[in-house]
Chain A
Amino acid sequence: MATACSHYDVDRFGAGFPRFSPRQADVLFVVGTISHKMAPVMKRIWEQMAEPKWVVAFGVCTCTGGFYDNYATVMGIDTIIPVDVYIPGCPPRPENVIDGLIKLQEKIQNQHNTGLRDTPEPRPDIFDV
């Protein structure tokens, strides 16, 4: 919330108005821990978005699950939907968020002209959870 407001102002980077309808949005910001109850809802919202779409995992709970290693939490949303930019932190500082947004913009600029993108790297299997 703070990033969107006057002190840090994310509007100057073009992320001015959040549109809450999935059909009109380009980027899905997944903020906060995703529990197993919420996971099907989130997947459905992602499926409702129109291509081209990108996903930003905001906060360490969405990146890897954070310190909530228990029965209720999804350990990283990239087990369910592909993620483009990870912004860790609990909670991430507004400067981190702006940095992540700029990285996303660079990634989009460097994409192939046809709009196809490289498949995100698969999650390393070294963690035997």
Chain B
Amino acid sequence: MNTISLITAITNHFPDSVISSHSYRGDATIVLKPESLIEVARFLKKDENLLMNLLMDLSAVDYSTYGKAPSRAFFASSGNKVRPQAEMRDEESWPGPVPETRFAVVYHFYSIQHRHRLRVVVALQNSDLEVDSLTDLWAGANWLEREVWDMFGIRFQGHPDLKRILMYEEFEGHPLRKDYPVNRRQPLIGPVN
């Protein structure tokens, strides 16, 4: 199925759950409400036309500093600003992260029979970092969700054993969040620097 029919198939079935959808650079993407994740996931796996039997990837993005990068360098002494014309122009623009949300949990699905891919984005507020776990449907979600918990601090309801996987248990904080500085170390032994 191509990206348009893929998106329409899901949007027709779940009109209330899908907040938005796009296919930037050819990747079919839908943005869901957090509550409806597990039903949509079940539909994706079982429906005949979709048959997404491979959960390729499960990760998260912290959008708290999105778009706040320092602006382009310009030469203050000359009084001229560097014209931003060197930026790549885009015919199709990306809608961007869902407004007012901090985290987005991103799922990539693939169907071996139909050979199509889908990306599902679930946007979360900072106050409510809980999402349903997909371990019943795909066994690979177990470790992937543990990693998201370890790196971002997003809880997964229904996960059998949510604990850290890449960092050690005594580590405090969640490293991949944007407010965790890169070189703040918490060594078990040895000096801090």
Contacts and interface: CB of A to CB of B under 8 A. Distances in A.
Direct touch of chains A and B (CB < 8 A): yes
A124 B184 CA distance: 21
Contacts of A75: 193
Nearest to B184: A71
B188 A36 contact: yes
Contacts of A36: 168, 185-188
Interface in A14-41: 36-37, 39-40
B183 A39 contact: no
A121 B189 CA distance: 20
Interface residues of B, number: 16
Interface in A36-85: 36-37, 39-40, 43, 69-72, 74-75, 79-80
Contacts of B189: 39-40, 43, 80
Interface of A: 36-37, 39-40, 43, 69-72, 74-75, 79-80, 129
B167 interface: yes
A43 B188 CA distance: 11
29 contacts: A36-B185, A36-B186, A36-B187, A36-B188, A37-B167, A37-B168, A37-B188, A39-B187, A39-B188, A39-B189, A39-B190, A40-B188, A40-B189, A43-B189, A69-B183, A70-B182, A70-B183, A71-B180, A71-B181, A71-B182, A71-B183, A71-B184, A71-B185, A71-B186, A72-B167, A72-B175, A74-B190, A79-B190, A79-B191
A70 B182 CA distance: 5
